Structure formats: structure tokens, C-alpha cells
Amino acid sequence: MSHHNIQKLSDLDFVINDTITLVGHNNAIEKEIYHNMWAIDFDNDFIKTITSQDLCVFLTQLLEQRSAQIAKNYPHLKATFYLWHDELAEQLRFNILSGANITLPFRCKTNFISTPVPIIQAFLKDAQAENHPLDFENFTFLNPGDPGWDEFDDDDEEEDISQQTITVYVITLPQKNISSIINNTIS
């Protein structure tokens, strides 16, 4: 997985031009996730200047580049590109895996949508908010003996995420006319 903090629009060029690795079979899904997944977040001041349109332009350029990479380097393959908003990390995330109509590697329920716009808008709403629920000042620290201390047990099992739902935009690549696909979903 690659992570990049965006401090200016030109920083997105690095993400757009990154190479991808497609193996072509399900046995290598971990390798593809490792090489092809991106998590991007934005500088706190810079994010306030970003619009949905800016991110749609970025996404269009990214999908055009990924389509061109697949057509050139993997001419006999189809790939699945998927985009989601990681609310806890306040990141926009995306990945590309070999195959069309594949099962995505989420351990929770998925809500598939036909346009990336709601994901982009939700990301911007959270990222541009003055306070995020996970900001340091929103935490309450408990010490042994404080009221509520006994409610937490270090041995608790991890929360069952299988009942949570994540909204995901999915598109099969390569595609022609990416800009018309994205632009039609913005309107």
C-alpha cells in the first residue's frame, strides 16, 4: 500500500503516474493489494481549497492512466478499480485488482454505487470539517479507578466489522471515454 499526503494539486501527479502490478490470477491478490492500493489524505490547510470537481478531474486522469497502463502492459487482462472513503483514517482510498466482476477483499458489507461523486463528497465533507471525531481533543482519557474504567477490557475481541457497510465505486478497466463516464455521473 502506498500512502501520500497531498499538499498541492501537483502532488496528485505522482499518484496518477505510479505503475501498477497485475498478476492475472486470484492467488496473487495480496501482491496486487500491496502494489496497487493507495491511501491519500490532504494537508489540513490545502484540503479546504479542494472541490469535488478537483477530485473528479484527478479521478478521471487516474482512470485514464490506469486504463492506458492495462492496455499497454496487460493487453489480455481486465482489471477492477475500486474507490472508497476510509472515514476513520480520513483518507480517500483506491485499488486495482486483476479480473472483472471479482469479489472485493472487504470483510464487511459493500454498497456498490455507479458514480464516485458521493464518495468524493463524503470524503471532502469529513476532511474539510473543523473537528473530526478522532481528533486528539475529542478523546477522553481514563485512568484506573475513574468512572467507566471497568467498562473497557484489554482482552475484548476486535469489533465484528462484518455487519458494517462500506460504500464503494467500482469500474472495470480498461475503458474508453473515461472522462465521459465520470462527467456524466457528476451532472
CA–CA separation, 148 vs 14, rounded Å?
47
Q: From residue 16, give the alpha-carbon distance in Å to each of 20, 155, 160, 184.
A: 10, 42, 34, 21
Q: Contact, 98 vs 23, CB < 8 A?
A: yes
Mean pLDDT for 100-110 is 92
Q: How far is CA 45 from CA 41, 108, 137, 167, in A?
A: 12, 33, 18, 27
- CA–CA distance, 147 with 169 (Å, rounded to integer): 43
Cell numbers representing residue 148 in the block: 467507566
pTM: 0.83
Q: What average pLDDT does range 68-97 have in this prediction?
A: 95
pLDDT at 109: 93
Q: How far apart are CA 11 and CA 178, in angstroms?
A: 22
Q: Which residues pair with 5 in a beta bridge?
A: 41
Confidence class for position 93, pLDDT limits 50, 70, 90: very high
pLDDT for the residue numbered 117: 95
Q: Could you tell me which of 53, 59, 57 has the C-alpha nearest to residue 40?
A: 59
